[in-house]
Amino acid sequence: MIGRGRLWVAVWVLLLGAEVGADPAIGRRLAALRALVAPAPASLRAGRAAPFSEPCATGAGWRRIPGGLRAQTLAAVHDASLRFGVDAALIRSVIREESAGNPDAVSSAGAMGLMQLMPGTAAELGVVCAFDPRENVMAGTRYLRRMRDRLGSWRLALAGYHAGPGAVEGGRLSATTHRYVERVLRRWGQGRGARDHATR
């Protein structure tokens, strides 16, 4: 039986080897996953399942299904819209603004996937692989719905999604967040079935 120390060495050798000559998307995924190798938060050490327990840096499932990424994303948006009561056009607008539809996107702050989930948020929502299009969209939509229920309007929900609810409640929104909200609302307003964005 392989010892724990040897197993970790083997894993790191494989990861380092995979990065050599790998495409940029795989490199970004590996970097994001390495950033997660840190002591678990107290809440996780207390007994909750560890986030990202399965490797997801390679073999994106959307490449193996009919229609590929677009089909999987649209299906996820449809299902998330029905499950969480969020207009599908708004979800698509957030995806467009957050990642331009790239499931491999990783921001400089470490946000991942189509709806740019931060590691802490993803862990809180029970996400295993933030780069999986369906899992990302379902979790991101759930979080957006949570912001709407907490803050009272879609405009404020988008601000909370971008900057965190504390920044909204404390009146500490930056010009960057205000521009983000206006871009998402404008794009949503161009979609079918859009509502009164600022108040609903």
Active site residues: 98
Q: How far apart are CA 117 and CA 36, in angstroms?
A: 13
DSSP for 98-144 reads HHTT-TT-B-TT--BTTTTB-HHHHHHTT-S-TTSHHHHHHHHHHHH
CB neighbours of 159 closer than 8 A, spacing ≥ 6?
151, 167, 168, 173, 177, 178, 180, 181
Q: How far apart are CA 73 and CA 85, in angstroms?
A: 17
Using left for φ > 0, alpha for ψ between -120 and 50, and beta otherwise, residue 66 falls in beta
